[in-house]
Structure 1
Amino acid sequence: MVTVGERSVQVGGARQRTILALLLLSPGRIVPVDTLVDVVWNGRPPATARTQVAIVIAALRKAIKSEGVAEEVIATAHPGYLLRPDGHVLDTVTFSSLVAQAEEAVRTHRPADAARCYGEALALWRGPALAGVTGQLVEDEAARWEEVRINAYEAMTGVQLELGRHQLLLPELAAAVREHPLRERTRYHLILAQYRSGRRAEAMESFREARRQFIDELGMDPGPELQELHDAILRDDPSLAFEPPAEPAEGGEGAADALAARGRVVPSELPPDVPGFAGRGVELAALDTLVEGQGEGSRASTVGLITGVAGVGKTGLAVRWAHRVTEQYPDGRLFADLRGYDEHHAPTTSGDILSRFLRSLGVDSDDVPNGLEDRIALYRSVLAERRVLIVLDNVRTFAQIRPLLPGSGGSTVLVTSREQLEQLVTWPQRGRVHLGVLPEADAVELLGRIVGEARIQAAPGDSVRLAELCDRLPLALRIAAARLASKPHWTVRHLVTRLSDGRRRLDELSQGESQVRASFELSYRYLHKDAARLYRLLGLLGVPDFTTWVGAALLDGDVMDAERLIEHLVDAQFLEVVGVDATGQLRYRFQNLMRLYAEELAREEESEEERLAACDRVFRTCLTIAEEASRRESGGGSAGTADDGAARREMDSILLEELLAAPLEWFEAERLALVAVVEQAAELGLDDLAWHLVVSMEVLFESRNYLEDWRCCSEHALEAARTAGNLRGWAAMERKLGLVELRLRKLSESTARQETALALYTEAGDPLGRALVLSDLAFIDRIRGERDQGMERLREALPVFRTAGDRSSEAYALQNMAQFALDQGQPQVAVELSQDAVRVCESIKGDQHGLALATHRLASAHLALGQLEEAEGEFARVVEIVRGRSDLIGLAHALLGLGETRLQSGAVEAAERTFLEALDMARRTRSPMIEGQIRLSLGRAYGDRGDSEAGRAHIAEALAVFRRIGSPPWEEKAAAALQGLGEGSAQRT
């Protein structure tokens, strides 16, 4: 309602009411036109929206001026409008002022004045706030003001009870409870008023009714205050009786004298303990050292700090611990919320807190000094002879709490903050506690305490999944649990399904009073603009973790600057440190909800062009590093294409050298991130980038036997290339998938993939690609025993490799031809072909992978000729090469060859040790074929040593492996060896 004197100003239409309401909610502050448009049309404005807003503003001005108001009440101020409150009375301002006066009266022990101010404030209400006005922002504000009104009413009834007006309060308290049955404070006041009015039975029935409603609707008992009131009524505790307020003490010669005259006051200001608290045993034990650190007769104050991301439960832990150690602080427990992250209030000043703390500690209001330094001095003097627990919640800067730290005495200060507060030195050191997310079991326990154990235990798998979707973050867990508790018809799986959609998860966890998004937003608004932008851009990446060069690529800047901003995000709890990877780089990651919020911000604040450009820079930097790592490991073999459409991004050479000191270790450290980049690049249609990256990663997939990763990446890149009509990329990925099938001994599937690749390369006019496929098909021919066809394919491919200058592929073809010669009983020809392959590999800088393969083939040829000394030397060289590359599967093959050589030379024990080491490597790579071959050889070694039982066991296991993977030739060899060992054993027996 708008009034001028006694007359009402007519405000017509829903739009006028909504726009006027928005201006009234922000008196003296500019409300942007975009905000007005968004609220009035609920995010779907017409093209003429801004014009229509201007028309509404003109109509409001006209209506106000028509009642004789000369000055301009609604002013135009870029980028919107503001309401000038000067000379005009706003109910919201008056209400807030009266409530503040009432709170001050309560602090200064003037209950009558407090009751009067609260009464005047509540009399301003003439119904629900902003009734009849629509729009999400207005409705949210209306809900907030309703909460403020109820809090003021509860505070007023508390004061009225202090004044002994319990009987007068009964009718309106009963009505208030019916309207808000789950407000514990209102229930408390009703039950206390009933008890003091001599209605003890009604008080007990009110408690039982409250307990039934809390269990039915929330799945939990009332809080500790109501429980304690119930217990006190049962024993007729004298403390419940009404006592008239004490008169203010007479002034003395000074604050200390007045305080001494009245005796020591023991404040107890801790909030109620957190219901449904779960876990945090280690953290509580660390905080216990704050008490232990004081010791008997200690004069030193202790200081603790709890840090962590928004919603991780810092306040809950502080309050839980404070209640646990109450008896250790006989002189009082003080609590203050410094509002370091409050969107509705400015941070509480240390001067205000000192004033309140001094009054709580018994200093008369008139004796509280005006100056900050004098307040600090008095505060520290009062605490000097006391043992008080001081909890300072939601601290943002050390400057906020420096004046609140005791100078001496046995008191303890416990601080909670989202910042690290490096200037705050905690003592003992273990008193600095950083909260992470809850362990899985504790997270599920927390759900059960709020939802009810039966519902959670009935769906254990879904409950674990729900905890993970909430990041095991206590705030998110409590919100999710409260939703389940309020909806008994929902199953746990139903809520899991709703939260599984990443695009909606923050919406689902940001309903009601507690909102995950809002808690993140309060921290985000305090970030430096550069750190905020990096945070947003990081949210665009689907990688599980990352290092500093990723941040530099996103910002198109320097790595050192990126590291500084990333560390800033770590300090502000937006990122967490994973650890140091094998290349010596620090790795960082998001919690999932934090990443979802970052992505949401990026889509709101960055243009599509900027988002795509940032991702593109990261992806192409990945390709630059991966290709160089592949070149260093394999000599830069052909990608199977005649030209290259994927642009690379230049990178600092010093950083590149640092990252690729051990190329395979870099691949290993970045494996999961690279897999995610391939998938994301493919989804964005960056087909050339995706398939080139898969080709570069082949050296990792092969050497560490990551077949599922290889398949997944190749399939994503293939789909992108096929969609784009990219024949070379399509062919390359068909070929890679054929190699995966070959590793799995699925020869038919592998052949089909390779033949598809061959047809695509032919259509694309790419002879080099065709030659690579022919080389792969030749390998399959060898397995099938089709030696003539395989050799013919290699003879066709070899001149193509030489013409193209693809030395690595040339060497690969030569050593495969050597293997065909071995299979055909021509070991001397195999030696010559292998020596050619070795010479080619030695001419290629960095082709250690090819050199190992060629040398292995040469060693096998020497072994076939019975040249055991030469064979052992070459196998030993292979072992040295692959061990230096951390090529585990290559090492298994090399050790198998070395063991076979030693076994043939009669060094049975040395062969046995070599086979056992090879078996360990094979198990680590989970490669059944090589494991079966090693077990077969190991069984023979045990048989030669006379341990036929162990020999048969290993050969039997090898036979089972060959049968499982479907390898008839090796199955026959194992069966024959098992039969031979059995016969030999029988003859010896």
Structure 2
Amino acid sequence: MPAGARDGTDAGRPTAETGLGASLRAWRERALLTQEQLAARAGLNVRTVRRLETGELRRPRSASVRLLAEALDLGEADLATLKRLAAGPPRAPRRTRVPPHQLPADVTAFVGRTRELALIGAPDTTGTADATGTADTDAAGIAGIAGTTGTAGTVMVTAIDGMAGIGKTALAVHAAHRVAAHFPDGDLFMDLHGHTQGVPAAEPAQTLARLLEALGFPGEAIPLDTGDRAALYRSILADRKMLIVLDNAADEAQVRPLLPGAGGSLVLITSRRRLVGLDEARTISVDVLPVAEAIALFTGTAGEERVAGASREVLADVVRRCGLLPLAIRLAAARLKAHPAWSVRHLLERLEEHQRLLSELHAGRRSIAAALDLSYRELSAAEQRAYRLLALHPGTDIAAGAAAALLATPAARATVTLDRLLEAHLLQEPNPGRYRCHDLIRAHGAERVAGEPEADRRAAMTRLLDHYGRAASAAMDLLYPYDPGTRPRRSSGESVPGATPGATMPGVAASGGAALDVFMPDADAATAWLDAELPNLLALAQYAADHGFPGHLQHLSATLHRCLRGRGRYAEAESLHARALSAARDLGDDAGEMEALLQLGEIRSVSSRYEAAVADTTDALRIARAIGDEAGELRALSGLGVSTGSRGRFPEALAYYTRAMEIARTIGHRTGELDALIGFGNAHRAMGEREQAARALTRALEIARVTGHRIGELRALNGLGRIHLAAGDHGAAAACLGRALDLARATGHRLGELSGLTALGLLHRGQGRLEAAVDCYRRVLEIAREIGNRNWQFEAIHGLGRLHHDLGRPGEALESHRTALALASDLGQRGDQARAHDGLACAAAALGRPDLARHHWSAALAILTGLGADRAEESGVDAETIRARLAEVTPEVIPRTGR
């Protein structure tokens, strides 16, 4: 494998085998089948096979057992054994899994909508009559929907449509709470922002990433491609029974990738549009409330005592003035409740007055605007200001600390103000401590804040951006304490990494460098803060790019780089860094341009786009040298070493790493020296120069342990383990690789885990433990497919091809190496292409096809010659060996065994 090509992040997954799982797995391995292949042969879902092998699914259907036995070519005796193991002990415990619970709090004083609730399958069981006079007095609807989604295994999709303010979200959330107990695998809630003013509609790729993270997949395990993300999402939900609410959808295209394909899930969608393009969805159009239900909602919100004495005619007039819209009714009732001296008739007069002033608006909007104006005018001056300024926030929700920064007030006072707006029904609190507003209220606030002086609006957003910038820096320092030098500093006046001496990050802490108002005592708190705020941080970065805050944009880009890379959010990272690059170029900011180019180069390198990565990093190197930034030059040189080494150009990579080490030692940059040493050592190892590689990696290991750089330690151990393996020192190799795997799983470094597992596979193969080697490579393939890393998919498939050959299956070996060659060619990995050609040649020779063997060995030799290298990074794939095999391949002498 090219040096540096497969190095980056994840956590291992524990396996709890049962007798059934171990036996099934052993039969499958003897047949040299992957879980995917066995599932395909048996006509089962691959997740079902995986759950059987891990012990999570211990009582399969008898039909499934027979299908598995037939796919494995088992005889009657083995079939009987499989059935006995499948029966298992009584009440066998299942592997525990904590289900997500994301539903917002249920709506208070929810009334009516009995017809719609019944259609959804969550009927009102209180005996309230619906519009047709039918009373629901039992839970038949709930039981029916539970049976439909559970027994038949079909996905139920219900799309709720209606005008703004009609109560679609309230209905969906209320219905979801009524049936949630029937979905043991949890519930998911996603606001798609299809019609949220100032917030772009959520892209399916981003939404899928958030859904997968909620389902337990770390960000770095999420594939890059939207289609792959959707396929993984469907696979996970195929045997789960979940409740999913997709709120505020723009159209069918936004929703379609988010729908499960099979399983027992219920999906509720809300949209202002009728989603007729979703053929699988049942649609429910929500109209205004009937007068009786509207009066009940008004009374429940205001309180019985506040409407006592009012005639039904007056109450009916009030709710009609509210357009029979739930949002306007709640707002009007909240005003009445807040004014003990008002009567219902007094409230009616005020609503009539406001509606006359809004005669140019259509009825529905006029009703809501009148109710909002009435609520707004009743606020204190400070509360009105907060209402206006909160509409500036481009994110989805806001916490008290961020609101305090926006309002320039202490956090305790901000909390009081937020609670006051919450009591007035102008804010919602879907989760404790996090506030959001209805889209119509946001739009109303935006209209009001437009009259604010531009200087005041800009000052408020500067404070908000400062707050998020400081908090993000604090979180990253807690999570990645060993590389603070690659991020900008938190306070004004401190130097920016990569900038000329004395330079500062423009715009950051411009409001005076207020103290950090987010409490983060440890790394767990930092992770929780990033989990909650990352959508807001990305929205703020977009806002900064669009509204002339280049300094804040560059600060967020540089600060969030490690977070986005670690979470596998490559698309978002690339977009953010590209905007930062454009801003830096517009400003003529050489240091900012260099920083953005370095980050883009790294993201494109880990995405296997090496040509683009080399171009970006070369430009960064040119700028670093021009402005005399040695730290930036060091980072660029190491980045070029990674990208060129990944293309098999090892002598060129060594030159980059050598210069990087010289600079790192001159300026005392320990992390930079560590990175360069690891790249330098791995490049020498790939070239078969073990002594030089061992010296460099041993020194890297020392620095990593002294500085507490655990990722550096595992990378150095993986390299040393491979050196010991190549030297035949299996004991030392096992010690290094075992420790590296422990570190990878402890730190969530999934690419480090892949490297360690692959090396262990080589170790087991060298010791003749072929089944253990197969297990390692299949686990590598499983993880690589989960995270969308095609480099490691090549390693797994190529390794399995070698094992097929060792086990006397040259036909299967040939197919594996063909797949591996296609992958290597697609990635442009010349060294890996040589390895795949060699594997194909060995398989062809074993099949008695000398012409085909000669073709592939000639191709491998031509690649090595073209690279100016005598060997690829694999024992036996070298020019001397290949020339000898070419000489042997004649019609009379055909090798029949593998290497």
Q: Distance in 2 between matches of 1:586 and 1:866?
A: 59
- More divergent stretch after superposition (948-957 vs 755-764): 948-957
- Matched-pair contact (CA < 8 Å) for 1:955–1:977: yes
Aligned counterpart, 1:599: 446
- Note the C-alpha offset of 1:562: 4.4
Q: CA deviation at 1:318?
A: 8.3
- What is the aligned partner in structure 2 of residue 700 from structure 1? 563
Contact 2:125 2:137 in 1 (8 A): no
> Partner residue of 1:353?
311
Which amino acid is 1:966 matched to?
A: G
Cα gap change, 1:393 to 1:918, in 2 (>3 Å): same
After TM superposition, give the deviation of residue 751 of structure 1 in Å: 2.5
Tell me if 1:722 matches 2:585.
yes
Q: Which residue of 2 aligns with 1:396?
A: 334
AA at the equivalent of 2:311: I
Cα pair distance change 1:960/1:310, threshold 3 Å: same
Superposed counterparts of 1:128-207, under 5 Å: none
Q: Which among 479, 483, 486 is matched to residue 636 of structure 1?
A: 483
Whichever residue aligns with residue 767 of structure 1, its letter is: E
Q: Which one of the candidate residues 715, 726, 732 is aligned to 2:595?
A: 732
TM-score for both structures, normalised by structure 2: 0.53
Task: Label 1:536 to 1:825 Cα distance change in 2 as closer, same or farther (>3 A).
Answer: same
Match of 2:553 in 1: 690
Q: 883, 886, 893: which is aligned to 2:745?
A: 883
Matched-pair contact (CA < 8 Å) for 1:896–1:934:
yes
The CA distance in 2 between the partners of 1:840 and 1:614, in whole Å, is: 45
Answering whether residue 460 of structure 2 is matched by residue 614 of structure 1, we say yes
Unaligned runs of 5+ in 1: 1-272, 296-307, 324-332, 342-346, 359-390, 403-416, 418-506, 580-584
Shift of residue 656, structure 1, vs aligned partner: 1.5
Q: Which amino acid is 2:167 matched to? A: V
Deviation of the 1:530 alpha carbon = 5.1
Question: Deviation at 1:830?
Answer: 1.3
Match of 2:123 among 262, 285, 300: 285
Change (3 A) 1:395 1:599: closer
Partner of 1:550: 402
- CA gap 1:970/1:356 in 2 versus in 1, 3 angstroms: closer
Q: What is the one-letter code of the residue matched to 1:819?
A: N
Distance in 1 of aligned mates of 2:704 and 2:607? 27
- In structure 2, the CA distance between the partners of 1:781 and 1:556, relative to structure 1 (3 Å rule), is same
Conserved in 2, the CA contact under 8 Å of 1:630 and 1:636? no
Given candidates 935, 952, 959, the residue that maps to 2:797 is: 935
Query: 1:561, CA displacement in angstroms?
Result: 5.1
CA change 1:526–1:860 in 2 (3 A) is: farther
| One-letter code aligned to 1:611 | R
1:265-322 alpha-carbon deviations (Å, 9 max, x no partner): xxxxxxxx99xx9788348722654466989xxxxxxxxxxxx994427897784596
Q: Answer yes or no: is the 8 Å Cα contact 2:761–2:774 preserved in 1.
A: yes
Q: For the residues of structure 2 that align with 1:810 and 1:508, how far apart are their CA atoms?
A: 71
What CA distance in whole angstroms lies between the structure 1 residues aligned with 2:550 and 2:640?
26
Counterpart of 2:119, as a letter, is: G
Deviation at 1:510, TM superposition (A): 4.8
Inter-partner Cα distance in structure 2 for 1:518 and 1:286: 31
Q: Does 1:850 align with 2:712?
A: yes
Instruction: Give percent identity, aligned residues only.
Output: 21
In structure 2, the residue corresponding to 1:843 is in which secondary structure?
helix
For 1:312, the aligned partner's letter is: G
In 2 relative to 1, CA 399–888 (structure 1 residues): closer, same or farther, beyond 3 Å?
same
| Counterpart Cα distance in 2 of 1:833 and 1:512 | 75
**Structure 1 residues 752, 294: closer, same or farther in 2, change over 3 A?**
closer
Q: CA deviation at 1:832?
A: 1.8
Residues 1:566 and 1:950: Cα distance change in structure 2 (over 3 Å): farther
Partner of residue 230, structure 1:
none
CA distance in 2, matches of 1:586, 1:860: 50
Q: Distance in 2 between matches of 1:732 and 1:860?
A: 34
CA distances 1:348-369 after superposition (whole Å, capped 9, x unpaired): 85323389899xxxxxxxxxxx
On the 8 A contact 2:617/2:639 being kept in 1, the answer is yes
Mapping for residues 294-333 of structure 1, pairs under 5 Å:
310-312=165-167, 319-320=289-290
- Tell me the distance in 1 between the aligned counterparts of 2:530 and 2:297: 50
Taking the TM superposition and a 5 Å limit, the aligned residue runs for 1:493-512 are 510-511=361-362
Q: Which residue of 2 aligns with 1:655?
A: 519
Pairing 1:475-514 to 2, within 5 Å after superposition: 510-511=361-362, 514=365
Counterpart for residue 536 of structure 1: 388
Asked if 1:966 corresponds to 2:849, the answer is no
Change (3 A) 1:968 1:278: farther
> Does structure 2 conserve the Cα–Cα contact (< 8 Å) formed by 1:811 and 1:854?
no
For 1:561 and 1:510, how far apart are their aligned partners in 2?
36
CA-based RMSD: 4.5
Q: What is the TM-score when the length of structure 1 is the normalising length?
A: 0.49
* Superposed displacement of residue 758, structure 1: 1.8
Q: Distance in 2 between matches of 1:508 and 1:857?
A: 75
The separation in 1 between residues aligned to 2:787 and 2:675, in whole angstroms, is: 23
How big is the shift at 1:560?
5.4
Shift of the 701–615 alpha-carbon distance from structure 1 to 2, 3 Å rule, reads same
**Structural mapping, 1:55-94, within 5 Å:** none
Tell me, yes or no, if the aligned pair for 2:646 and 2:829 is still in contact at 8 Å: no
Separation in structure 2 between the aligned mates of residue 828 and residue 809 of structure 1, nearest angstrom: 22
Offset at 1:553?
2.9
Measure, in 2, the Cα distance between the counterparts of 1:320 and 1:946: 76
Q: Provide the C-alpha distance between the structure 1 equivalents of 2:620 and 2:288, rounded to a whole number of angstroms.
A: 64
Superposed CA offset, 1:501-558 (max 9, x none): xxxxxx9995456335445444444556555544433322322444443223323455
Rounded to whole Å, the distance in 2 between the matches of 1:692 and 1:751 is 24
The change in CA–CA distance for 1:698 and 1:952 in structure 2 (over 3 A counts) is farther
Q: Which amino acid aligns with 1:902?
A: H
Q: Structure 2 vs 1, CA of residues 840 and 534 (structure 1 numbering), >3 Å: closer, same or farther? A: farther
Residues 900-923 of structure 1, C-alpha deviations (whole Å, 9 max, x = no match)? 333333333333333333333322
Q: CA deviation at 1:951?
A: 5.1
What is the Cα deviation at residue 663 of structure 1? Answer: 5.1
The superposition leaves residues 60-98 of structure 1 with CA deviations (integer Å, 9 ceiling, x where unpaired) of xxxxxxxxxxxxxxxxxxxxxxxxxxxxxxxxxxxxxxx
Equivalent residue, structure 1, for 2:642? 779
CA distance in 1, matches of 2:656, 2:504: 29
* Cα 1:836/1:590, change in 2 over 3 Å: farther
1:896 & 1:618 partners in 2: Cα distance?
47
d(CA) in 1 for partners of 2:556, 2:766: 44
1:704–1:889 contact (8 Å) kept in structure 2: no
Q: Which has the higher contact order (CA 8 A, sep 6+)?
A: 2
| Counterpart-to-counterpart distance in 2, 1:339 and 1:665 | 37
What is the deviation of 1:735? 2.0
Does residue 897 of the first structure (1) align with residue 743 of the second (2)?
A: no
Measured after TM superposition, the shift of residue 817 of structure 1 is: 1.0
Query: Retained in 1: the 8 A contact 2:118–2:124?
Result: no
Amino acid aligned to 2:407: L
Match of 2:615 among 733, 752, 771: 752
What residue ranges of structure 2 are gaps of 5+ in the alignment? 1-111, 130-134, 139-162, 172-285, 317-328, 341-346, 348-357, 487-496, 849-895
* Counterpart Cα distance in 1 of 2:594 and 2:679: 22
Q: Which residue number in structure 2 is paired with residue 741 of structure 1?
A: 604
- Distance change in 2, residues 1:560/1:959 (3 Å): farther
Cα separation, 1, equivalents of 2:360 and 2:662? 64
Contact 1:664 1:700 in 2 (8 A): no
AA matched with 2:613: S
Q: Deviations over 1:616-653 (max 9, x none)?
A: 23323333333344343261253341445134556558
